Structure 1
Amino acid sequence: MNSLKDDEVGVTMEAREFVFAALAELAAQRATRSELAGLRRELQRLGKLAANASTTPNEFKLATYAYVQVLYGAARNARLNQIMRDLSEGVGHAFGHLSMATQEMRQAEYEAYRDLTEAVAGRDKDKVHALARRMHSTGVARAQQLQAAIPAAVVEFRGRRRRTRPLSATV
């Protein structure tokens, strides 16, 4: 799994798009005032990071994780949240930063989160669903574009390996 165009990565990213949209839509229906305030706080943080030329892609990526944790919490669907975590294991963590590599990309990402926040606050589930799907697919497209421009060895991903036996076991 070392390319965003690999079949496994592609189907995983496609599934993530739908789950992300479903979580965002549920958040639009269920978010409390406190959760909406939390989304706005995280959005404000994203805006500051996007405007700062010295922000690293990883700093911005971590801030987006904080935002989506509030969003996913507002959805109040533990199963979908777990599915998203499972889908993000490896693929999202390996390639997510590519969609935020430049300040221009981070600004575009911030603007997408701003639009999503406004739609969630407006309880417009159809708009939220469409925005979330577009955000995800646009991010994947940006990451693919950047990945195509850099050597494969730089972006190769080997993923996390789960051990099925204790480290002390000998073969």
Structure 2
Amino acid sequence: MNNSQGATFEKMILAGCATYKKKGRALIEKTPEPCKIIKKEPNGRAIVQFQKNNKAQCDFKGVLNDNRAIVFEAKATTEKRMIQDRLSSAQFEQLTEYGKTGAVTGVCVLINKTAAFIPFVIWSNMKTIYERKYITEEEAEVFQVETPAAIHFLNYVNANEVGEFIEQKLHEIAKDRGFL
């Protein structure tokens, strides 16, 4: 995916964040990229250097109106599948840790033409659930979200179906690991 397509996807997520803020549903902000100002120029511009050694954080963090934190990464591809390894190890670890505290965690994806919010419990267990480390556009449709001029990542097209899917898969994982 080229940078302009990724930037458009991110702008649509930001529009979703603005909608949720306006409606009092959530306050979610984009995490700034780790960079250092090398030189300030008189016209207000600056030369910056991305900090290669800093671990990249997840793209978005905030709080929902029910007092739960929300943390998620955004990924887009024109391919028909999204590979689990698109998350860095630092992002994977961060989503895992936030999830342990009860935060809403996930990966907001655009796979070809399907926008979806994949709960991190599904993302992190792709190998168990799908028997491979990627999710197809068709499989992501269960997590599809509304996209009228913005990515409404909290508005699943079929919330009941998502809940049932997650419950079923978690039950299967617990059973496979001998917890049930």
TM-score (normalizing by structure 1)? 0.30
Counting helix residues as a fraction of each chain, which structure ranks higher?
1
Counting strand residues as a fraction of each chain, which structure ranks higher?
2
TM-score (normalizing by structure 2)? 0.29
